[in-house]
Amino acid sequence: MNTVISPSLLACDFLNIENELKHFEDVKHLWFHLDIMDGHFVPNLTFGQPIIKKISQKTKQPLDAHLMVSNPEFYIESLKDMNLHNFTWHIEAQSEDVLSLISKAKKHYSSVGLSIKPKSNLNLLSDEILCAIDLVLVMSVEPGFGGQKFIEETYERISALVKRRKNLGLSFSIQVDGGVNEHNAKKLIDAGADNLVAGSYIFKEGPNKYLEKINSLR
């Protein structure tokens, strides 16, 4: 299967987003990863609806929203017309019935995901929840900031999810986010990851290297 690569726009040149997007327009199996932080669920604050709307008008590539917010329900509604392909929030974020939030999200997004922080018990994602979602986002750093060091325990967490996916006869995707680079990508794919988010690694050396970086992750 083709590994999806999801460049995290958090690491791109924000004053030049339109041009940044163009470099990736013809790349197959690519999602643009949007890190939406509310300054509450995580200390950092990024961008919201107005900027996402502009981005969605400038690309045909699928948009992948990663909500690091305390109130995902608000965003399920407010981002519903932004043409997002995937909508992921954190299992740690809310106490309301997760299954009902998932069915709300399913009305507006073709893919719905849940993310889990590195220190959270994987059992927070119950079998029932796994049956209802399209994607699990395994955080390989503490959410909130780009450029952090990859947490090695991530491989085991991916393997555990692969096992559960098989036992349950499911097909949700496994996405990994944080500190992904050319040194850990192969091991992540071998462990069962099918979607790699990368920010600093793709963007840090400038546009001439973007495509090379993407290929090196695959």
Q: What is d(CA 135, CA 91) in angstroms, rounded to the nearest whole number?
A: 12
Considering CB distances under 5 to 8 angstroms, the limit depending on partner class, which of ligand DX5, Zn ion, none binds residue 198? Answer: ligand DX5
Under 8 Å between Cβ of 7 and 24: yes
Considering CB distances under 5 to 8 angstroms, the limit depending on partner class, which of ligand DX5, Zn ion, none binds residue 147? Answer: ligand DX5
Q: Is 35 one of the annotated active-site residues of the chain?
A: yes
Q: Is 81 one of the annotated active-site residues of the chain?
A: no
Among 20, 114, 146, 188, binds ligand DX5 (CB under 6 A): 146
Question: What are the C-alpha distances in Å from 148 to residues 113, 119, 142, 196?
Answer: 23, 15, 8, 15
Other Cβ atoms less than 10 A from the Cβ of 30: the count is: 18
Pair of tokens at residue 52: 């996402």
Among 63, 65, 138, 198, binds ligand DX5 (CB under 6 A): 198
Pair of tokens at residue 82: 């932004």
Q: What is d(CA 187, CA 168) in angstroms, rounded to the nearest whole number?
A: 24
Q: Under DSSP, is residue 63 helix (H, G, I), strand (E, B) or coil?
A: strand
Question: What are the C-alpha distances in Å from 106 to residues 11, 78, 111, 127, 193?
Answer: 29, 14, 7, 18, 23
By beta-carbon proximity to Zn ion, the closer residue of 155 and 179 is: 179
Among 6, 20, 35, 42, binds Zn ion (CB under 5 A): 35
Considering CB distances under 5 to 8 angstroms, the limit depending on partner class, which of ligand DX5, Zn ion, none binds residue 72? Answer: none
Total residues contacting ligand DX5 by CB under 6 A comes to 22
Considering CB distances under 5 to 8 angstroms, the limit depending on partner class, which of ligand DX5, Zn ion, none binds residue 7? Answer: none
By beta-carbon proximity to Zn ion, the closer residue of 32 and 107 is: 32
Nearest approach, Cβ of residue 181 and ligand DX5 (Å): 8
Binders in 60-79 for Zn ion, by CB under 5 A: 66
Active-site residues, by number, are 35, 177
